[in-house]
Structure 1
């Protein structure tokens, strides 16, 4: 099974304030007993020129293309009281691949999102979810079984904030949990060696040095373990110091310098140190145009190959520009770049990996509750082996999707 490692701090755009340019600004929700109900239906047709993300010569899955059909219904139930809100979302997505029907799958699940403001000094945010998911682009057994690997996913996150946002000092305490339990595979019904759990926890202390600027100090720990693989996991402890600012009404951002320590489950492997950073900047030059930039240098919290306890570490950057050309037409342009080293448990580099992804999209709000979108994504993945035993997994992929979202 092919798994593309990603930096676990999750290159996200941005921040402690939320700016957004929504394609469906008034989705046509209705109220029922004090609860806002928002049913949505999204459907699309597109083309994928490399369904299995495969570029190796001689592989039967190399550059297999397909017409892709998607149907994604969802419903959100949301109640609000002052600054607090409580939301339950149930959703699903079915994807079918013309000519590669063995890879068809249906995801579904539910998520709970709670934000409660006890008072100006105490606030709590809790999110949780459960669903049946699939690894699109991976296969259970290459060309012998092209089914997308299925797993149950359980996740939860909590953040407790103490201290008013306007106060000189405040603290956020946070934790998260994510588990993937793959289906039993093979004729013998063996448990998948990919079953894993991620756990994280930490705290951030903010101290205001100027009206719109805070110094921050953060400590956090992330842990990876595999249910059916001994000595495959590791944990990462990070210590960060930086700034969190809102320089003007148009700009918000943070920058953190990090010292990281990785400890392997393999007892004979010494602890490793690594310097890094986390950066996020959001800039709104005009009210209808949003630019977001994020970057980081970190360990990836997912093993390249659990059986060999390998891991990744490297650099990641994302740039995105979203612009409202009119009240009905919005465009989105993005670029992401990842430069990782894949290393074994003893920190010996096995191969270098670079991934570049371009994306572009255009949305048209045809009616109040109907938006039509056209999206394109191009990915190029290059790997260079540093030892004879490493396999180079290169590929390029273009994917197009024409979709319509209807607020029912």
Structure 2
């Protein structure tokens, strides 16, 4: 028997609509958030299971927004138990997966201390799309009563309410600055204007260094104090026209209209020193906060907002790898081009085909443009340089070359 179990296959149109609903919440690959962590904790406490997960499912993986008892972060969709819940739109309870012919050869079951008990319910939007799951998992078989199933479904409704609140909120409750969604909505308008009029625009992303260690050493209340102090210090040094938002956790972004790379670097350095100058009386040992910064300048011929922030993030990661508490500008090539490139943000199911069509890997297409695509796939380093990207729902395919590899995906340039 195959190790990959079969779930009902939705129509291409239905899956495209479901992925559009996932995209609407703009939550994939965001940092942990207390509201969802609390739900995962409650699942473990109420049902006494080893593992609890709040997850979203895109085209190629089950991604964990919150998880207790599991540190993987995501699993491939084709071996996920939860994909059956999403496909059917109904709760699924398995008392002993090792005795269930649908799952007994699944690698999540055959692994040491593998899955035995599983209970999952869908996260369903107000318009009926199943975008993810809540699940309770254990390495020992057990029963699950109708009452327990009803409780799990109630927690799923709480999780969906949190997702809706998150989607609609414009101001971050802790820091008072723009939420991720509000920041992006405002930033999109500024990027469009800068591209249309060919004006300067730069982005700065930063996060607080070793923030987990601050929480572990001083407690979460102290971590909240640091977040509020950092955002207050940064706000004092920004212009009224600048856009400042919290992307999640300790990650922030700033959009600087009419600022070239040199001006943006000067702003980042000023903010870096302002954060270093913060003092937190009463902390033992003395608490010192620092931050790492990445800077990128808009290329109006090739960049949209997502591309601009991605460049700033790549510079931020370089700053962190270089020792933290520093600001680095994006070092990639941004050679001038006379060809207008319109990147469209999408969330579509795709396939990467290679090895003379003997190898096929599911992927999620995150952006498309005339000459290329941004693709989320795991693991990206195992792919050859040349692949074919297929999008079944559009009956389209392109021969492509991998031009960039990132931790969770690749960027492709299509063959002419």
Q: TM-score, normalised by structure 2?
A: 0.30
Q: TM-score, normalised by structure 1?
A: 0.30
Structure of greater relative contact order (alpha carbons < 8 Å, 6+ residues apart):
1
Higher strand share: 1
